[in-house]
Amino acid sequence: MRPLRPLLQLRSTRIVLMALAAAGALSGASTPARADDWPAQPIRWVVPYPAGGGTDVVARTIGQAITPGLGKQVVIDNRPGAATIVGADAVAHAKPDGYTVLTADTATLAANPSLYKKLPYNPDKDFVYIGQLARFPLVLVANPKFPARTLKEAVEYAQKNPGKVNFASPGAGSPHHLAMELFMDQTKVKMTHVPYKGAAPAVQDLLAGQVDLMFLDLASGQQNVTAGKLRALGVATPKRLAALPGVPTVAEGGVAGFEAYAWQGMVAPAGTPKAVVTRLNAELVKALKTPEVQKKLEGVGVEAVYSTPEEFASYARAEADRWGKLIKAKGITVD
């Protein structure tokens, strides 16, 4: 008959080993993803706008380009609504495992925090920044029947007719709206804002002469400008656009230092492993540097932009500060 003490010791040892094994399994399950074993499944890219629009095209173009390098499919999930809030909220509260990312733009990260009293997400606390994606150049356009043919004439006309010139936007607080508020602030003119639910109805009324002016992104306006259906008065970029070489910059038109973009980048839920962020950023930069991707984006009026995660975070916060001050100074709200 074997002594009792050794049997108890053996049983105790087995219990400890089993506990250690279980702890090891749990530890392994919670260990942050490594770049060499991620991804193991498709990646969901949430786009907070409808399918078919400029933002959707950008995501699908880049998503297709980074798929081979990742080795897993990038699946676009359109979640439009409430100035990107619907999509942003979904991603902010998603599992931070590297399998959910979001197209975050000027509204998501820079304007909404100042436009809304309450948001279901916090740009700084709920997201980790991965990298920039694109910029949408803005163009000041007018209905051809508008009496001013140049930007200088438009400013002079608005100064002589305060409040009588109407301008459209895809919505209150949109980059297009904020660009015009900045323009009015710098030129000391007063115009009447007519907000629409999206760019399409705004452009339709601009073409029909129901409104006079609009800051329109090149992706939405290039075709009508080229066809002569809209008159381009100036581009809100530091340099002239290759797509519209004959159109001067707003700065050239007399508004020194004027610059405004609608921009986009990729973010993920806070807590997403650093190795995943680094890997995703590397794939984004590689794709955005390719002539194929740049050419396709340029074809729809979009400029490819890439950055480090830190550069994107810094840029987004600077934009939030810039537009936040303007929003508060003008008393703009959408609540």
> 77 forms bridges with which residues in the sheet?
46
Residues with Cβ within 8 Å of 300's Cβ and at least 6 positions away in sequence, in order, are 54, 57, 219
Asked if residue 320 is part of any domain, the answer here is yes
The SS3 call for residue 52 is coil
Domain residues for the domain of 189 are 137-235
**β-strand pairing of 213-217 with 127-142:** antiparallel
**β-strand pairing of 74-78 with 43-47:** parallel
Q: Are 114 and 326 in contact (CB under 8 A)?
A: no
For residue 165, what is the domain's CATH number? Answer: 3.40.190.10
Residue 215 DSSP symbol = E
Asked if residue 28 is part of any domain, the answer here is no
Identify whether residues 125 and 145 lie together within a single domain.
no
Model pLDDT, residue 63: 98
Final residue before a domain boundary, out of 191, 216, 235: 235
DSSP string, 121-169: --HHHHEEEEEEEEEEEEEEEE-TTSS--SHHHHHHHHHHSTTTSEEEE
313 token code pair: 């975070």
**β-strand pairing of 127-142 with 100-105:** unpaired
What is the tens place of the pLDDT at every residue in 87-138?
A: 999 999 999 999 999 999 999 999 999 999 999 999 999 999 999 999 999 9
Integer Cα distance of 228 and 57 in angstroms? 25
Identify whether residues 82 and 96 lie together within a single domain.
yes
Identify whether residues 219 and 171 lie together within a single domain.
yes
Report the chain's mean pLDDT, rounded to a whole number.
Answer: 90
Model pLDDT, residue 50: 92
Q: Are 83 and 173 in contact (CB under 8 A)?
A: yes
Give the count of beta carbons closer than 10 Å to the beta carbon of residue 250: 29
What is the tens place of the pLDDT at every residue in 259-303?
A: 999 999 999 999 999 999 999 999 999 999 999 999 999 998 999
Mean pLDDT of 144-155: 96
> 231 forms bridges with which residues in the sheet?
142
Identify whether residues 85 and 171 lie together within a single domain.
no
Largest CA distance in the chain: 111
153 token code pair: 């004439």
Residues with Cβ within 8 Å of 203's Cβ and at least 6 positions away in sequence, in order, are 168, 214, 216, 220, 221, 224
Identify whether residues 208 and 127 lie together within a single domain.
no
Burial of 125 (0-12, 13-18, 19+ CB in 10 A): exposed
Asked if residue 283 is part of any domain, the answer here is yes
From first CA to last CA, the distance across the chain in angstroms is 82
Total number of domains constituting the chain: 2
Q: Are 138 and 176 in contact (CB under 8 A)?
A: yes
Q: Are 165 and 316 in contact (CB under 8 A)?
A: no
Model pLDDT, residue 221: 86
pLDDT band of 34, cuts 50, 70, 90? low
For residue 49, what is the domain's CATH number? Answer: 3.40.190.150
Integer Cα distance of 149 and 170 in angstroms? 24
The SS3 call for residue 112 is helix
Residues with Cβ within 8 Å of 224's Cβ and at least 6 positions away in sequence, in order, are 141, 203, 207, 230
What is the tens place of the pLDDT at every residue in 223-258?
A: 899 999 999 999 999 999 999 999 999 999 999 999
Identify whether residues 94 and 127 lie together within a single domain.
yes
Burial of 166 (0-12, 13-18, 19+ CB in 10 A): middle
Give the count of beta carbons closer than 10 Å to the beta carbon of residue 114: 18
235 token code pair: 């581009």
Question: Would you tell me the crossing angle of helices 291-299 and 54-70 to the nearest 10 degrees?
Answer: 170
The SS3 call for residue 236 is coil
Measured at the CA of 261, the angle between CA 260 and CA 267, to 5 degrees, comes to 135
Mean pLDDT of 63-83: 96
Asked if residue 160 is part of any domain, the answer here is yes
Final residue before a domain boundary, out of 235, 252, 279: 235
Asked if residue 248 is part of any domain, the answer here is no
